[in-house]
Amino acid sequence: MNKLEIKEQLLAKCIEQQMQSIEDLQKEMDEAQRMSNEYGQPKDRYDAFRTKLLRQKDMYAQQQAKAILVLNTLKKIPLKEELNKVEFGAVVITNKQNLFISAGLGKIELKGKIYFAISPQVPIFNALANKTIGEEIVFNSNKFIISDIF
């Protein structure tokens, strides 16, 4: 599998995971709304159960809005562009970990290899930013040597 295929598949998995998250949050919002509707009118102005359901729905809506922002960020990752330094959209291969600089989605397994989808806001990215192949950094007492970027 070539580098472009790896990056395309990583991005596809990230987008799929994010879309599933958005769908799950929508189901939770719908369920909270359904329960609120079935519960009926508030029993009094301090009806705690109904208030709890509506707060849950609002919480899920906020989480869904954030998930949609992450999805839109993922869709901005250029696939065809040649990258030669650590930046947003890069797949970075080091002696310790394989990183996909995209969004903080965590561990992704692809063809028997483990990659970590990380956000450009995390400390390891700040340490690696703008580094090129062959450069090394020390992060949390670990020495990372960059062997490939694409």
Predicted local confidence at residue 92, as pLDDT: 98
d(CA 143, CA 1): 28
Give percent of the chain with pLDDT exceeding 70. Answer: 98
Helix (H) or strand (E) holding 144: strand 142-149
Residue 45: pLDDT over 90: no
Helix (H) or strand (E) holding 60: helix 48-74
Report, as an integer, the average pLDDT of 72-88: 93
Q: For residue 150, what are its two tokens?
A: 């694409």
- Better-predicted residue by pLDDT, 43 or 90: 90
DSSP bridge partners of 114: 109
**Is residue 57 within 8 Å of residue 15, measured between CB atoms?**
no
Residue 2: pLDDT over 80: yes
Predicted local confidence at residue 17, as pLDDT: 97
Reduced to 3 states (helix: H, G, I; strand: E, B; else coil), residue 52 is helix
- Helices (H) and strands (E) counted in the chain, each on its own, are 3, 6
- Please state the pTM of the whole predicted model: 0.88
Residue 114: pLDDT over 80: yes
DSSP class of 97: -
DSSP class of 3: H
Predicted local confidence at residue 1, as pLDDT: 79
